Amino acid sequence: MSEGTGQRGQEREHAYERELERERESEREFEHVRVAVIGSGFGGLGAAVRLRREGITDFVLLERGDSVGGTWRDNTYPGCACDIPSHLYSFSFAPNPEWPRTFSGQPYIRAYLEHVADTFGLRPHLRLGREVRRMRWDGEALHWIVETSHGTLTADVVVSASGALSDPRMPEIPGLDAFPGKVFHSARWDHGYDLRGKRVAVVGTGASAIQIVPAVQPEVARLTLFQRTPAWVMPRTDRAISRAERALHRALPFTGTLRRQLLWGIREAQVQAFTKHPDLLGVVENLAKANMALAIKDPALRAKLTPPYRIGCKRILLSSNYYPALARPNVDVIASGLAEVDGSTLVAADGTRTEADAIILGTGFHVTDMPIAERVVGADGITLAEAWKDGMQSLRGASAAGFPNWMTIVGPNTGLGNSSMVLMIESQLNYMADYLKKLDGLGGRAGGVALAARPAAVRAWNDRVQQRMLRTVWNTGGCTSWYTDASGRNTTLWPGTTTEFRRATRQVNLAEYEVIRAAGGGGGDGGDALSVPAQRTRTEVVR
C-alpha cells in the first residue's frame, strides 16, 4: 500500500469517526434539562454560577460562538476597553485582585470571563457552537422546545442572556455593497486587513469609534470621521494598578471590596442628576467643554465637536486621546452622516465627498429590536418580536407576557447610563433564583408547572417605568439615541438607582404571575396566583 493510499484511508477513518461523534453529540443534544441558558457573556455565566449555587446542575449553557465571553469575545478592535472601572465591572462573587489597569482592556476582561467559567465549574454545562435557531413553548408539555444548530433539546425554563450588544447594526447606505475596498463593522474586526498607509473612513462616533480612531490614526494615511451627531467626551482617568495595590488586594480581599464599594457609591450618587435633576449636569457639561478646549485649538473643529444636546442624553464617553487624535493633520471630521457610496467615493449627507480604501462601521447594535426575539415563539403562537412590535416591555426586566417560564437577563429597561451593568445582572440573578424557588414550591421541579407574567402586571410595571422616564435627561436632553425605539420610547435604560432595582427584583411576587399546570397535574398551592389548565393559551388579566 502506498503512503498516499494509507494516508487517504486514515483520513476516511478519521472522517468516519468525526461523523460518529457528531451523531453521538446530536443524540446527546436531544435531551431535557431544567434550565437552558442562552449566551455565555456576563449574563449567561452569572446565571450559570447562580444556578450551581442554588444546587441546580440540570442545565445547559448554549453559546453560538467557539468560546465564552459574549461581546468581550466578539469585539477585538484596536483600543477596545471598558468605560467602567475594572473592580466594578466584575462579579461581586468573583473579585479579581489582578486587574492590571483601572479601566482594563478587552483581552483582560475576556480572560476574566474564561477564569469564571473554570473557577465555578461551568465547562461541563457549556455547549459551544450551538446557535439557537428557534425556541417554541409547548403548551401541553409545559416546556420549551429549543432548536439549535446541532440538535434539539427541551427545557422547563429558558433564561435568555444573549445581550443587547451582540448583533451589529449594519447601516442601509446606497452603494455600500458595491464599495471596491474593505468594509467591516467594529464588532467584526478584520485583523487580516492591514490599515497602514490606507485612506480609512470611520462611520459613527459612539463608544467603539472613540477608541478606534486614536488607535488607528497614527498608522493610516488619511482618516475621515463621519460624525452624524457629536458626543460629549470626558477624560478617561486610566492608569496602571501598581504591584503593591494588587498585592494588597490579594492579601486583604476586603480592600478590593472597599474599592468596589467606593466606585459604586460615587456612581450611585450621580443618578439623581440623570433621572430627576438634569439641570445639575450643566456643571459637567462645562467640564467637558474645557476638556475639549485643551486638545482642540481650532474654533471651527470645536464647533463641529460640540453637541447641541444636554450632556448625559447620550452616553457620556470617556477618552483622553480621542480629541488629540482628531486634531492631527491626517484627520478630517465631516459633521454629517454617510449618505451614499459611489465607487470608492463616499458622499456625506451635506454633499462632502471623500475617497477611501476602507470603511469601518461603528454603527452600534440591535438593542431595541434584538434579533433573538424573532426566534422565540410563545404561548399564543406569536414571536417575541411580534409581541414587542410596539416596543419592548417586560415585568421587572425579566418576564414577557405570553411567554411562560422564559426570562431575560439584561431585558427591557435594565440598562444603565453611568454605572456597571454587572450590578443589574446580579440583581436579575436574584430574581431568577427566587423564580425557580417559587416554581419548586408549586411542584415545578418535576415539570408540569409554569409561571406566566400577567399582562396587567407587565403593563403596570412599564407604565411606572415610563412615567419615571419622563423627567430624565434621556427624555428631556434634546437628543435622539440608541436608548429609544422607533416610537421614541426609552425601552433600554433603568430610570433609577441600582439599589432601587435590587429591591424591586429581590423576590418574585406570585400575584404578578399566573400559575399554569399540566392537565391533571398536582403540585403545591399557587398562593395569590390563579391556577389554570395547561391547554389554556390566553393569560388571565388582573381586574
Is residue 10 predicted with pLDDT exceeding 70?
no
Strand pairing class (513-517; 338-342): unpaired
What is the C-alpha separation between 435 and 337, in angstroms, rounded? Answer: 46
Contact by Cβ (8 Å): 340, 175: yes
Strand pairing class (338-342; 345-348): antiparallel
pLDDT score recorded for residue 19:
54
Residue among 87, 319, 115, 96 nearest 205 (CA):
319
Is residue 305 predicted with pLDDT exceeding 70?
yes
Measure Cα distances from 180 to 191, 193, 204, 342 in Å: 18, 14, 21, 10
- Once rounded to an integer, what is the mean pLDDT over residues 250-267? 97
How does 280-310 read in b/e, with b if 16+ C-beta sit within 10 Å?
Answer: ebeebbeebeebbeebbeeeebbebbebebb
What is the C-alpha separation between 228 and 333, in angstroms, rounded? Answer: 10
What is the C-alpha separation between 153 and 6, in angstroms, rounded? Answer: 40
Lowest mean pLDDT among 114-123, 313-322, 479-488, 508-517: 479-488
pLDDT score recorded for residue 526:
39
Which tops the pLDDT comparison, 258 or 448? Answer: 258
- Once rounded to an integer, what is the mean pLDDT over residues 403-428? 96
Secondary structure (3-state) at 137 = strand
* Sequence-ordered list of residues with C-beta below 8 angstroms from that of 161, at least 6 positions apart, any chain: 37, 38, 39, 40, 41, 43, 44, 46, 47, 408, 409, 410
DSSP letter (8 states) at residue 171:
P
The three three-digit cell numbers of residue 297, written as one number: 485649538
At 351-401, the pLDDT tens digits run 999 999 999 999 988 777 788 899 999 999 999 999 999 999 999 999 999
What type of residue is 406? W
Band (12; pLDDT cuts 50, 70, 90) = low
Go through the chain and tell me how many residues it has.
543
Is residue 14 predicted with pLDDT exceeding 60?
no
* Sequence-ordered list of residues with C-beta below 8 angstroms from that of 476, at least 6 positions apart, any chain: 278, 310, 313, 470
Provide the whole-model pTM.
0.89
- Once rounded to an integer, what is the mean pLDDT over residues 479-508? 94
pLDDT score recorded for residue 523:
42
What is the C-alpha separation between 397 and 377, in angstroms, rounded? Answer: 19
What type of residue is 293? A
At 34-78, the pLDDT tens digits run 999 999 999 999 999 999 999 999 999 999 999 999 999 999 999
What is the C-alpha separation between 338 and 340, in angstroms, rounded? Answer: 6
Contact by Cβ (8 Å): 376, 403: yes
* Strand-pair partners of 185: 361
Is residue 81 predicted with pLDDT exceeding 70?
yes
Is residue 522 predicted with pLDDT exceeding 50?
no
> Burial of 255 by CB count in 10 Å (0-12 exposed, 13-18 middle, 19+ buried)?
middle
Give the largest CA-CA distance in the chain.
85
Measure Cα distances from 498 to 173, 420, 501 in Å: 39, 9, 5
At 198-244, the pLDDT tens digits run 999 999 999 999 999 999 999 999 999 999 999 999 999 999 999 99
Q: Compute the mean pLDDT over every residue in the chain, rounded to the nearest whole number.
A: 90
Band (30; pLDDT cuts 50, 70, 90) = low
Contact by Cβ (8 Å): 61, 37: yes
The three three-digit cell numbers of residue 281, written as one number: 449636569
Determine how many CB atoms are found less than 10 A away from the CB of residue 180: 10
Contact by Cβ (8 Å): 359, 201: yes
Q: What is the share, in percent, of the chain residues with pLDDT greater than 90? A: 83
* Sequence-ordered list of residues with C-beta below 8 angstroms from that of 112, at least 6 positions apart, any chain: 90, 94, 96
Is residue 521 predicted with pLDDT exceeding 60?
no
Q: Identify the H or E element spanning 113.
A: helix 106-119
Contact by Cβ (8 Å): 267, 419: yes
Angle at 39 between CA 33 and CA 43, to 5 degrees: 100
- One-character DSSP codes across 494-519: -SS-HHHHHHHTSS--GGGEEEEE-T
Secondary structure (3-state) at 202 = strand
Strand pairing class (449-453; 513-517): antiparallel
> Burial of 197 by CB count in 10 Å (0-12 exposed, 13-18 middle, 19+ buried)?
exposed
Secondary structure (3-state) at 399 = strand
Determine how many CB atoms are found less than 10 A away from the CB of residue 260: 19
What is the C-alpha separation between 534 and 121, in angstroms, rounded? Answer: 36
Contact by Cβ (8 Å): 64, 86: no
Residue among 243, 259, 270 nearest 95 (CA):
259
